[in-house]
Amino acid sequence: MRHLFVSLLLLTLIALIPIQTFAETGMLDLIPHDALGAIALKSVNETGKHSDEFSNDTNIRPVVQPSMGMKMALGWIGVTGGLDKDAPLALILPDARKLKQKSYTARDPKLFIDNLILVLPFSKLNQLARCFNASPKKLKAGETVKGKGVVFGKYFKVYNKHLVISNSQARVEEYVATKSVATKMNSAQIKHANGGDILLHIGTRSWGNEWNE
């Protein structure tokens, strides 16, 4: 009887200990809270599948099916392997004030492109890094690595299970040090935003005085 009591007591204590769970990365987790704007996809596979279904159901016949368009876009920037097609990805335009500018209005288009941030999920870092001629070994060590993409990408850094890519070293390092927009929202808002296939984020905080004109 004593052994039974001890066993029941241990089981009760174990049941009372909170179990820590780790939520999967959502689209909002990839977007900095102070970003000027961003577009995120839930995943290449899921967003592509649902986009194709929507196209077929509505009799919209684009020249290229959405799923094929995504593959072509990824191929255009040089991604040939290592991408996790079941995880979110994002393209981000950071806060212009980080560039000591009130806005991007009338800025050199090249500077606009050079400050974009692309965040790609990886299943095999070695393969994805080689698509951009970046050292997998240095990336795994947590370094900001120089590389060269086909059309975009000069600096790279690993952030959780994603590869952060930009033409600007400062943008890459600021990205990993900045809290996500998800930290500024409640659980209901996060669930709603992450529930779609595509998320368009517009950061009103970055509009500045131009919004009042």
- Residues 61-79: tens digit of each pLDDT: 777 788 888 899 999 999 9
Q: Which amino acid is at 8?
A: L
d(CA 197, CA 179): 22
3-state secondary structure of 200: strand
95-122 mean pLDDT: 76
Token readout for 31 is: 């977007």
d(CA 143, CA 52): 39
d(CA 67, CA 184): 32
Bridge partners of residue 162, in order along the sequence: 121, 159
Of 115 and 138, more confident: 138
d(CA 171, CA 94): 8
d(CA 69, CA 151): 17
What DSSP state is assigned to residue 14? H
pLDDT band at 60 (very low <50, low <70, confident <90, very high): confident
152-158 mean pLDDT: 97
The answer to whether residue 31 scores a pLDDT higher than 90 is: yes
Q: What's the pLDDT score for residue 134?
A: 97
List the domain boundaries for the chain: 25-212
d(CA 45, CA 48): 5
